[in-house]
Amino acid sequence: MTGDLTSWGEKGFLADLLPGLYVDPLLLGGFGHDASVIELPDAPFNLIQKIDRASHPVALKEGWSGYRTWGRMAVTANCSDILASGGRPIACMMAVMVPGTEKAVNVRDIIFGAADECRANGVIYAGGDTKEAQDPHVVGTAIGIIEKDGFLPRNTAEPGDQLFCAGLVGGFAGAYFMLKNVPQDERDHTVDAYIEYLASPIAQWCAAREMNKRKAARCGMDASDGILDVLQTFSSAGVQVNLDLAEVPYHDFAVECARKTGIPLTQLIFGGGDWNILYCVPPDRVAELREVRGVPIYRIGEITAGSGVVARAGDGAEHMVRGVVNEHFKSRIEDATGFMDSIEKGRFIQ
């Protein structure tokens, strides 16, 4: 392995690293999934766990929200991955690392934000650690339980599976560009409405619980790094992932943003930040999901033989999908400018 991490990117580095690690027989499915599942031979369930650095929230960097957002982000990032993997989060902890010059009230608010998000979702906030560092960072971790047959890996999609999405799409990017690009008197919603969405990262608790209870999916993945990252990961199983553009469930902020700014709706799909979970569902379980009411679960495509990611337009035309994803050492949502510039000015559907 040569070169620095910028040349590799986070995902490229891990793709090269993980195959060389020893996989303990009790680590179900090995490495590389949203969360890690540990077999507990003498228990009626298995252990599921996750650790993740919480991105510096865009809303905080822009001055649109306070520090509680960062604590909520730490809880949401970890719990979303456990939910997407088929598990039930039980407890969270968090490490806050900041310079000694950081205001104490900011660190307090990060911790309170995490505790509040846990309490709102029936998760135990179990404390954590506070240490000095050159730059501020927040790292969360969560543990949970998962049924013996409940694990949803990332890489088991099969031709014939239907692609489902939990949650509406494009709200984060839509709200961001509305605040950045559209004057107040031309907006359909208040400033507070956009900021509330950007500052309140919430996992797909209801939809994930429904999916996990039914065991309707073959694989699942959190889309916090953007929907394209999930589609590419699903296709790594040696299949073609087909996104039906006419079926994408857009958030109202995305629809408004496209109308007011001219940014195509099809670009806003890939902005990330909406905390969607995507699932591959075997064809014999699709009818069951279509009958579910009151839970935001939408069919958005299908898996076929082939390779890569394809977008199908309403007229039946097919287009290859390519673009950047949220990736450390290359292009991060939290840096806003570079990644969001690609959403505003790039072309993902070709």
Task: Give the CATH number, domain containing residue 253.
Answer: 3.90.650.10
The dihedrals phi and psi of 28, each to the nearest 5 degrees, come to -70, 130
* Angle, helix 191-199 to helix 171-181, in steps of 10 degrees: 140
pLDDT in tens, 230-243: 999 999 999 999 99
Is 24 part of any domain?
Answer: no
Residues 130 and 169 reside in one and the same domain: no
Residues 93 and 202 reside in one and the same domain: no
Residue 347 pLDDT greater than 70, yes or no: yes
| Placement of tokens 């505790």 in the chain | 115
Is 192 part of any domain?
Answer: yes
Cα–Cα distance, 237 to 239 (Å, whole number): 6
Neighbours of 132 (CB within 10 A): 10
The dihedrals phi and psi of 196, each to the nearest 5 degrees, come to -60, -40
Q: Among 92, 120, 147, which residue terminates a domain?
A: 147
Residues 186 and 325 reside in one and the same domain: yes
Strand arrangement of the beta sheet that strand 162-166 belongs to? 219-222, 277-281, 162-166, 297-305, 239-244, 308-312, 318-320
Is 118 part of any domain?
Answer: yes
Quote the mean pLDDT of the chain.
Answer: 93
**Tokens at 143, concatenated:** 């543990």
Domain that holds residue 264: 162-345
Residues 131 and 195 reside in one and the same domain: no
pLDDT in tens, 106-136: 999 999 999 999 999 999 999 999 999 999 9
* Domain CATH number, residue 93: 3.30.1330.10
Residues 143 and 166 reside in one and the same domain: no
Q: Among 147, 180, 196, which residue terminates a domain?
A: 147
Residues 173 and 300 reside in one and the same domain: yes
Domain tally for the chain? Answer: 2
Cα–Cα distance, 69 to 66 (Å, whole number): 6
Residues 92 and 206 reside in one and the same domain: no
Residues 207 and 141 reside in one and the same domain: no
Residue 341 pLDDT greater than 90, yes or no: no
In the DSSP assignment, the letter for residue 164 is: E
Closest CA to 221 of 55, 88, 333, 85: 85
pLDDT in tens, 242-300: 999 999 999 999 999 999 999 999 999 999 899 999 999 999 999 999 888 889 999 99
Residue 308 pLDDT greater than 90, yes or no: yes
Residue 145: the pLDDT is 98
Is 14 part of any domain?
Answer: no
Residue 336 pLDDT greater than 70, yes or no: no
**Tokens at 89, concatenated:** 């989060």
Residues 141 and 265 reside in one and the same domain: no
**pTM, full prediction:** 0.94
Is 231 part of any domain?
Answer: yes
Per DSSP, which regions of 120-232 are E strands? 124-132, 137-147, 162-166, 219-222
Residue 350: the pLDDT is 77
pLDDT, average across residues 164-170: 97
Residues 59 and 138 reside in one and the same domain: yes
pLDDT in tens, 19-67: 889 999 999 999 988 999 999 999 999 999 999 999 999 999 999 999 9
Q: Among 82, 117, 147, which residue terminates a domain?
A: 147
Residue 156 pLDDT greater than 70, yes or no: yes
Residues 121 and 178 reside in one and the same domain: no
Residues 48 and 196 reside in one and the same domain: no
Is 19 part of any domain?
Answer: no
Is 225 part of any domain?
Answer: yes
End-to-end Cα distance, the chain: 33
